[in-house]
Chains A and B, each alone.
Chain A
Amino acid sequence: MLTYFVTETNWLNFISSLVSQYRVFGLIDYEGELKWRRLNEANSHSITITKYRSIQPIKKFFFPVKEEVTAEPSAQKTILIGCKNCDLNHLKTTDSMFVGSPVSDPYYLKRRENTIIISSDCDDFRKTCFCTSMDEDPFPSKGFDINLSPTRGGFIVEIATKTAEQLISVRKHYFQDPQPILLQEREKMRKRITELVKNNNSELNWTDPQRIVSSTYNSKAWDDDIASTCVECDACRFVCGTCYCFILSETKDIWSRIRTWDSCQSAGYARVAGGGNPKNTRAKRLKNFYACKLVYRKENFGFYACTGCGRCIEVCQGKIDIRQSLAKLKKLEKNV
């Protein structure tokens, strides 16, 4: 991988040089909440690169809340700056769902192909972050075009793809070779943030969530406790970067069709004609969410569809915390 050093000022100048040619999105800090915003000459110098993830999942850049799925796909060249490792890990699931067997989703694919992903290490965390419990790191090692690691006076820049090389090569004057000492410092920084996230979850004692959810699937605790405060708002599913569910519907323009995000937490999700509903209770639905992320997709793809980003914890009106749910279920494992 090509590695450079860039000063903070040069990096921001580099971004400014992109906004006229690409749709560029970056993170703007609203009192600690990072939100994705379209960048322009005016705001591109006030973005946050590192810190932690945004509450908004990056799936919306590839799989918008609502879109027509009968027209020819089109996508503008887009750059996302500030994706975190949990975001990149989300894309593993959406890629596996939307690309390939039996056919690729042309809309997702087109946007994916036309998007350059610039990620960064985390140098801070949110109380809800638990990527380390899911055996993930708070810094990317793959899945990006460019990754930035904060260091003294700027960033270490890793270039992972040809697209990224081209982007940099015409703007080479911003970048310089990294001093080896900076690379050593990066390793220290990475260890530090990993420890911080681990400490944030030090009271959690579970491992192997796949086994925990499978072995407690028939427990009454799902009804009596785990799902009992769910108000069926669907917020947890909409902020989750691996949730790919959608529903197709007809439009007034009679030969076209739109799709909209859907949520397995809503009562009608699995309802069939005649009133039958295999997911007719909140407990069955929450159980489905956990099993989908921690059991079924793991069986299909070999990795969890939960990256420990903690978004679902942050938005839950019922104060349901997947980390605590797993801890509770683990206690029940022997008693099932």
Chain B
Amino acid sequence: MFKSPYKSIKAELLEVIEETSNIKTFVLKPEEKFSFVTGQFVELSIPGVGEAPFTPSSSPFKTDKIDVTIMKAGYVTEALHNLKGGETLGIRGPYGRGYPVEELNKKDVLIVGGGVGMAPLRSFLLTLLEQKEKFGRIILCYGSRTPEDVVYKYLFPEWKKVKGLEIMQSVDKCPVGEWDETVGLVTCLLDKVKVDLAKTVSVVCGPPIMMKFSTTKLLDVGFKPQNIYLSMEANMSCGLGKCGHCQLGHHFICKDGPVFTYEQIKNIPEPFA
């Protein structure tokens, strides 16, 4: 039977988990088997309303359900936030190239996240933890605006117990006494963490401004551009390298990315614009 690449399949919205005042996790059950590589993205739609790209935040090893963590940012995301669970959504994908997990074999991995950028990184982290013996140190540096804005608050205590996983967190601002970790931008954490540059790669995801400053900091610290992996964001429509919207220089973020090394994009004028 003919199946258009632009057509979504149905996915039941099983549950909506409130993460912060403007971020929710949507647990979806697609009507057909839907596998993805961590870091790949999907186009999620409310039928008749609109569609937008999101990266699954669940582990790709979990195949019966897919979690997508979404910040309320505009038309489609607001409509998604109004859903209660039980509705039928549309999903197509997965698209693009995800994180190069195979290439990280035996490496130390420094994960740098900001805000809702923790969504794809959770999927990535869960993928690493699933096969922890393959990697060296796993370090997570995660920055949020305030303690309230931390996503997956309920998971951090668990993660902090995992051997071989080091976690550092920061918040931009906070009333005295409500936060016992670093106060400051996520880049402060990068000043504190000591890594062996010869065997460490960093994986960064967050708002454009955070990606820009984190990249600058990582380069300062001595990371080579090819060892900095970035999840690039852009306006997207098709997800299939056809509609043109996501172009970044000669790259199409949707099919050549969304994960790029800084090496691949450093010569493009204003890559984080």
> Measured between alpha carbons, how far is A256 from B90 in the docked complex, in Å?
11
Question: A69, A248, A255, A270 — which one has the most chain B CB atoms within 10 A of its CB?
Answer: A248
Cβ of B182 within 8 Å of any chain A Cβ, yes or no, is no
Which residues of B47-104 have CB atoms within 8 Å of chain A's CB atoms?
Answer: 47-52, 73-74, 77, 90, 95
Interface of A is mostly: loop
> Measured between alpha carbons, how far is A274 from B76 in the docked complex, in Å?
12
Cβ of A264 within 8 Å of any chain B Cβ, yes or no, is yes
A69 to chain B, nearest CB (A): 4
> Measured between alpha carbons, how far is A264 from B244 in the docked complex, in Å?
9
Q: In the bound complex, do residue A247 and residue B245 qualify as a contact, i.e. CB atoms below 8 Å apart? A: yes
Interface of B is mostly: loop
Interface 9-mer from B11-19, B216-224, B235-243: B235-243
**Which residue of the partner chain, among A250, A270, A300, contacts B234 with CB atoms under 8 Å?**
A270
CB 8 Å contact bits of A223-253 with B (1 = contact, 0 = none): 0000000000000000000001111111110
Cβ of B255 within 8 Å of any chain A Cβ, yes or no, is yes
Which residues of A71-100 have CB atoms within 8 Å of chain B's CB atoms?
Answer: 71-73, 97-98
Cβ of A262 within 8 Å of any chain B Cβ, yes or no, is yes
Given known A-B contacts A70-B7, A248-B51, A273-B74, A105 and B245 have beta carbons under 8 A apart: no
CB 8 Å contact bits of B24-52 with A (1 = contact, 0 = none): 00000000000000000000010111111
Q: In the bound complex, do residue A71 and residue B4 qualify as a contact, i.e. CB atoms below 8 Å apart? A: yes
Q: Which residues of B contact A102 (CB under 8 A)?
A: 95, 240-241, 255
- Chain B: residues with Cβ within 8 Å of the partner, total of 37
Q: In the bound complex, do residue B242 and residue A105 qualify as a contact, i.e. CB atoms below 8 Å apart? A: yes
Q: In the bound complex, do residue A295 and residue B250 qualify as a contact, i.e. CB atoms below 8 Å apart? A: yes
Q: In the bound complex, do residue A296 and residue B249 qualify as a contact, i.e. CB atoms below 8 Å apart? A: yes
Q: In the bound complex, do residue B234 and residue A278 qualify as a contact, i.e. CB atoms below 8 Å apart? A: yes
CB 8 Å contact bits of A257-300 with B (1 = contact, 0 = none): 10100101000011111101010000000001000100111011
Interface residues of A (CB under 8 A from B): 69-73, 97-98, 101-103, 105-106, 217-218, 244-252, 254-257, 259, 262, 264, 269-274, 276, 278, 288, 292, 295-297, 299-300
Interchain residue pairs with CB less than 8 A apart (10): A101-B241, A102-B241, A217-B269, A246-B238, A248-B51, A259-B243, A262-B243, A269-B235, A271-B235, A273-B77
